[in-house]
Amino acid sequence: MVKATVSIPGGRLSDRLGGKAVVMGGWTIYVLAYCGFAFLAGAGWTWFLFVVYGRYYLTEGVLKAYVADVVLPRQRGGAYGIFNFVISVTVLPASLLMGLMWDTVGVRAAFLIGAGLALAAVLTLSVAPRGDAVPGR
């Protein structure tokens, strides 16, 4: 439900701030939610964190638009193919790895590792070009 309510505002926010900023903000929400899941206990916190986590999904459509922003128009088809391929082949292993960590090293460590990887993604994106900075545009 939260995902459905943040999609359109996420697009509007992207129009104002740019896709890169919105994606970085959404991924930062993901980091904070996962840190919360690692340390906060109780049903009330869990529901609150699910709502916070749901706001991360404002990045889903924006990220797809960002792909078009950072490649030349003639490269968009291939870029979307690579983008969707990478997501397709990484989601299942990532989910299985999260479950394995949950069972072997514990819930807290699993969420903190996930938060750390998301933070690494935010930092990596922070040095990536904006769409208007792509050579040849």
User: So what's the pLDDT on residue 132?
Assistant: 57
Domain 2-128 class, CATH top level: mainly alpha
User: So what's the pLDDT on residue 51?
Assistant: 87
Q: What would the two tokens of residue 2 be?
A: 């939260």
Q: What would the two tokens of residue 71 be?
A: 């490649």
User: So what's the pLDDT on residue 70?
Assistant: 87
> What DSSP string runs through 63-126?
HHHHHHHTS-GGGHHHHHHHHHHHHHHHHHHHHHHHHHHHHHT-HHHHHHHHHHHHHHHHHHHH
For the entire predicted model, the pTM comes to: 0.86
Percentage of the chain modeled with pLDDT above 90: 64
Instruction: Quickly state the pLDDT bin for 60 (edges 50, 70, 90).
Output: confident
- Domain segments of the chain as ranges: 2-128
Question: pLDDT tens-digit profile of 26-37?
Answer: 999 999 999 999
Choose among 70, 55, 62, 75: nearest CA to 127: 70
